[in-house]
Amino acid sequence: MNAAPPSAEDVELRLLVEAIYHVYHYDFRHYARASLRRRMSAAMAHFGCRSLSELQGRLLREADVFTELLEYLTVQVSDLFRDPGYFRALREKVVPLLRTYPSLKIWIAGCSTGEEAYSMAILLREEGLLERSLIYATDINPNALRRAEAGVYDAAKVPDFTANHRRSGGHSSLSDYYSAAYDRVIFDKRLRRHIVFSDHSLATDSVFAEVQLVSCRNVLIYFDRELQSRALDLFYEALCRKGFLGIGLRESLRFSSHADAFAEFAREDRIYRKVDG
Amino acid sequence: MAAPMPGRPVAAVAIGASTGGVEALLQLLPALGGESAVSVFAVLHLPRERSSLLAEIFAPRCRLPVRDVQDKDPVLPGSIYFAPPDYHLLVDDGPQLALSMDPPVEHSRPSVSVLFESAAAVYGPRLLGVLLTGAGSDGASGLQAVQRAGGVTVVQQPADARMPQMPEAALACMTPDHVLTLEEIMSLFQALPCEACA
């Protein structure tokens, strides 16, 4: 492909993410461009801005605009037990090995609104491991973390959640873990006691604990190769010897400088095991 | 109608379809010659279980290879890529493939418009956008983006489409370069001038 001069939009996008980094210390500089472009144009429409430069002008002067923009830059939609095969593999292949640890620490990186953290807690409860487990669920979006902590979801999603849970090999009833009120369901506090929701950036923060399992799914797709490599370095450092790493079904470890340090454990379900270090 | 031509060589073709799309693509994609160097991206709205079968259905019938989609894979010439179930498929700088789990657009994930817009940003005038049969209105705004970026735009004739709504939604907001029957799009594909073969 011939190197075409960068378009005005590309230059504006680069400047905008630099501005966000300098003023608000959120680092989107190594986010994948295609998704970033799309999210920014949705934000432009929302704010009624005709160009990214105009959006940047407002962003630099109005902190509220950034808070709102952050919702556009981190928006993700998930389900409980999304990709049931992944949770089935965790349950059938990883859990028997996790049982050998006297206490367990698990890191859900990029937890968004908490669906995966609650799925993990339910799975551990069913396998009798929750009482000795601590789940760190981290994200960069404070609003998403607040919603995750509340554990309140749209009741209309429950049929899908329930079907996924069953297909993941769940052997209790999902309804044991939430109470319904009008069009909402709220997940049980006894699950939440084992989850610590906290603010953490894979782009700028470092490792905070040693863990036996990292689950980071459909987060790497939003990063460029360089940031993927940084995130995977963090997971490598955080994992104990023979710890497990689960990623999204369309993601890979090939941009990690530690790719060789991970062996395929459940190939189809993208679960890896740290083999040395 | 004379066999229409995009007018200039293209590097990539982005195709969107919903209801009736598998049948339509089973006519179109085999029409691309094995020597063609275009990269083809397709979004089909399908239930999850069926869309994971697309490679199996199409690979034996196409002369171009149907490639598995992995995030950040470089886009290869002379290859066909289908959006994987429940992800948006985008083209990123490189060009390379990108995926996203952003909310559905026009009730769809994958969304035709998301693919079209991202491909338009990367390929500009070197893109051919083709919107086929389907219910709903996904793809209309994306095809406009292809046109704004200077790409060639084709909409299937609503009367020729199994479901006319998607083509009609596009025609309601833009004037594409060509409005064609499936048969005509097939001959366009057979004679498609591509950059690398020019």
Question: Which residue of chain A comes nearest to B149, CA vs CA?
Answer: A7
Break chain A into its structural domains and give their ranges.
8-74, 84-274
Q: What is the mean pLDDT of each run of 10 residues along chain A (277 residues)?
A: 73 96 96 95 94 95 92 86 96 97 97 96 97 98 95 95 96 95 93 97 97 97 96 97 96 90 95 86
**Most A CBs within 10 Å: which of B72, B87, B115, as the mutation test of the A interface?**
B72
Residue B3 lies in a domain: no
Span between the terminal Cα atoms of chain B, in Å? 25
Cβ atoms within 10 A of the Cβ of A102, count?
5
Residue B5 lies in a domain: no
Q: What is the DSSP letter of B136?
A: S
Is A76 in Cβ contact with B101 (below 8 Å)?
A: yes
Task: Inform me whether the pLDDT recorded for B27 exceeds 80.
Answer: yes
Is B91 in Cβ contact with A34 (below 8 Å)?
A: yes
Per-residue pLDDT at A248: 95
Per-residue pLDDT at A251: 95
User: B151 near B41, Cβ under 8 Å?
Assistant: no
Task: Inform me whether the pLDDT recorded for B7 exceeds 80.
Answer: no
Q: Give the angle A25-A225-A112 at the CA atoms, nearest 5°.
A: 55
**Of residues B87, B92, B121, nearest to A32 (C-beta):** B92
Q: Is B99 on the interface with A (CB under 8 A)?
A: yes
Residue B59 lies in a domain: yes
Per-residue pLDDT at B34: 82
Q: Is B10 on the interface with A (CB under 8 A)?
A: no
Burial of residue A196 (CB within 10 Å: 0-12, 13-18, 19+) is: middle
Per-residue pLDDT at B2: 41
Per-residue pLDDT at B8: 74
State which residues form the domain around B73.
12-190
**Of residues B92, B103, B104, nearest to A34 (C-beta):** B92
Alpha carbon of A146: minimum distance to chain B alpha carbons (Å): 20
d(CA B115, CA B15): 9
Number of domains forming the structure of chain B? 1
- CATH number of the domain at B148, please: 3.40.50.180
Residue B4 lies in a domain: no
pLDDT in tens, B39-72: 999 999 987 777 678 989 999 999 999 999 999 9
Alpha carbon of B160: minimum distance to chain A alpha carbons (Å): 32
Q: Is A76 on the interface with B (CB under 8 A)?
A: yes
Task: Inform me whether the pLDDT recorded for B4 exceeds 60.
Answer: no
Averaged pLDDT score across all residues of chain B: 92
User: A148 near A139, Cβ under 8 Å?
Assistant: yes
Task: Inform me whether the pLDDT recorded for B167 exceeds 90.
Answer: yes
- E strand or H helix at A242, and its extent? strand A239-247
**Of residues A7, A39, A250, nearest to B70 (C-beta):** A250
Identify the CATH number of the domain defined by range A84-274. Answer: 3.40.50.150
Per-residue pLDDT at B14: 98
Mean local confidence (pLDDT), B176-198: 86
Q: Is A253 on the interface with B (CB under 8 A)?
A: no
d(CA A256, CA A240): 17
Per-residue pLDDT at A231: 97
pLDDT in tens, B77-118: 999 999 999 999 999 999 999 999 999 998 999 999 999 999
Residue pointed to by tokens 């009730």: B107
**Of residues B11, B71, B104, nearest to A221 (C-beta):** B71
Q: Which residues of B are catalytic?
A: 18, 45, 138
- b/e burial code for range A202-240 (CB count within 10 A of at least 16 → b): bbeeeeeeebbbbbbbbbbbbbbeebbbbbbbbbbebbe
Task: Inform me whether the pLDDT recorded for B197 exceeds 80.
Answer: no
Alpha carbon of A75: minimum distance to chain B alpha carbons (Å): 6
Helix, strand, coil distribution of chain A in percent, nearest 5? 50, 20, 30
Is B70 in Cβ contact with A32 (below 8 Å)?
A: no
Q: Decide: helix, strand or coil at residue A145.
A: helix
Per-residue pLDDT at A268: 93
Q: Which residues of B touch A229 (CB under 8 A)?
A: none
Q: Is A37 on the interface with B (CB under 8 A)?
A: yes
Is B71 in Cβ contact with A220 (below 8 Å)?
A: yes
Q: Is A46 on the interface with B (CB under 8 A)?
A: no
pLDDT in tens, A144-186: 999 999 999 999 999 999 999 999 999 999 999 999 988 999 9
Per-residue pLDDT at B91: 98
